[in-house]
Amino acid sequence: MGRLTTHVLDLMQGKPAQELKIHCFRVNSDQSLTLLRQVFTNHDGRIDSPLLTHEELIPGIYELHFYVGDYFRLQGIHSPQPSFLDIVPLRFGIQNPHEHYHVPLLVAPGGYSTYRGS
């Protein structure tokens, strides 16, 4: 059964990023975005259920927007304004809706990394 999942790790503090807002979008043919979900990470930096499941997961282009600026401000980590990172957008493609697509984010105030997880 195909699904889209994510998690976020705070590399600066060495812990899961709890209560980080994420928006999940489908990218339309005209490059506009359709909001599919808004979620917050749990105590483990994960979301409680998949962002998309097999009936919602169709081949195409998607974006996840991670609101890392808000997260770090709530953690009491202040940076000069504007913050270097505010919203981190990750654009990726779904080819096979029967597969599991896991898109993690490793983040610190000065940078981030991602990969296709399992």
pLDDT in tens, the chain (118 residues): 899 999 999 999 999 999 999 999 999 999 999 999 999 999 999 999 999 998 899 999 999 999 999 999 999 988 788 889 999 999 999 999 999 999 999 999 999 999 999 8
Residue 46 labelled as part of a binding site: yes
**pLDDT (0 to 100) of residue 106:** 98
Total tally of structural domains belonging to the chain: 1
**Any known ligand binding at 73?**
no
Q: How far is CA 87 from CA 77, 84, 118, in A?
A: 16, 10, 24
CATH number at residue 61: 2.60.40.180
Q: Is residue 115 part of a domain?
A: no
Q: Which residues constitute the domain of residue 59?
A: 3-108
Strand order through the sheet with 100-102: 52-53, 3-5, 100-102
User: Does residue 59 form part of some domain?
Assistant: yes
C-alpha 108/C-alpha 110 separation (Å) is 5
Q: Identify whether 116 is part of a domain.
A: no
Q: Is 7 annotated as a binding residue?
A: yes
Backbone angles phi, psi at 73, to 5 degrees: -60, -40
Q: How far is CA 1 from the centre of its chain?
A: 21
Record the pTM. 0.95
